[in-house]
Structure 1
């Protein structure tokens, strides 16, 4: 049995190479850009003993304060098991703690520790030189333009406010 799939041969095939005109091109390029940026940022975080997934949770905790694990998972694009492993790692390193939530014994909020804030700040210092390398191929003003466009793309509601 054959699936009902359009067989239009005129549609371009998806790649992530320059000049790709397929409807998947943007998503594939963003995926490739993410891999590149993640590799560079991982290099900055490695000497601090954390990974990008740890930093993502610390970022949410710095921004929001104590946050329940379910909300951490949603904010970082993680699943329940994944966020538990990251929080376990952060607790072992003394960078975060779980605390009871008043009124609900089953829910635990995660809170950044002073050592976590210190490491978060150190990560920014460590990332400066590698972040510059990340955009070294761009011309004057292009890094700011890229940041602006990606911000609008990732947060479309921010334009309406």
Structure 2
């Protein structure tokens, strides 16, 4: 069954093309920007033998220190089974270890190892030239402006009133 939709409304429909004026345009642009940035990050991580999902956990561990697995899942947007697989991978590689949480026999905290810190630092070094290539089409000051705007957009509650 097809709906009779007037053709004059097509100008406001989401197209995912530059200049799209639909209410979905911003989300579609952010999705496309994410894909592009994620591809660059994946390229930087590939020679190190890890994926973005592994690096996302390492970022949380560097930022927060030892973190309970359920909190890692929430912080990385991963489900419970997914975070277990990622932590298993990191443990196999010697990049993280699980430790008992005092007072909670069921919980395990994940901690980054010295090898994990080394890999984390190596990933940053590998990503620098690739990130420069990612923003090469922007003008002077625009990479910083884009970062500032996206930070405000992504963390609205963190702004001071």
Q: Please, what TM-score do these two structures have when normalized by structure 1?
A: 0.93
Q: Runs of 5+ in structure 2 lacking a partner?
A: none
Query: What is the alpha-carbon root mean square deviation over aligned residues?
Result: 1.7
Task: Give me the whole-angstrom Cα distance separating, in 2, the residues matched to 1:19 and 1:159.
Answer: 29
Give per-residue Cα distances to partners, 1:42-70, cap 9 Å, x unaligned. Answer: 00111111111111000000000000111
Alignment of 1:2-13 (within 5 A): 10=9, 12-13=12-13
Alignment correspondent of 1:91: 91
TM superposition shift of 1:160: 2.0
Determine helix, strand or coil for the equivalent of 1:10. Answer: helix
TM superposition shift of 1:10: 3.0
Determine helix, strand or coil for the equivalent of 1:160. Answer: coil
Q: Does 1:64 align with 2:64?
A: yes
Task: Give me the whole-angstrom Cα distance separating, in 1, the residues matched to 2:21 and 2:68.
Answer: 42
Task: Give me the whole-angstrom Cα distance separating, in 2, the residues matched to 1:51 and 1:84.
Answer: 15
Task: Give me the whole-angstrom Cα distance separating, in 2, the residues matched to 1:69 and 1:102.
Answer: 14
Alignment correspondent of 2:48: 48
Give per-residue Cα distances to partners, 1:78-115, cap 9 Å, x unaligned. Answer: 11111111100000000000001011111100000000
Q: Runs of 5+ in structure 1 lacking a partner?
A: none
Alignment of 1:103-122 (within 5 A): 103-122=103-122
Alignment correspondent of 1:154: 154
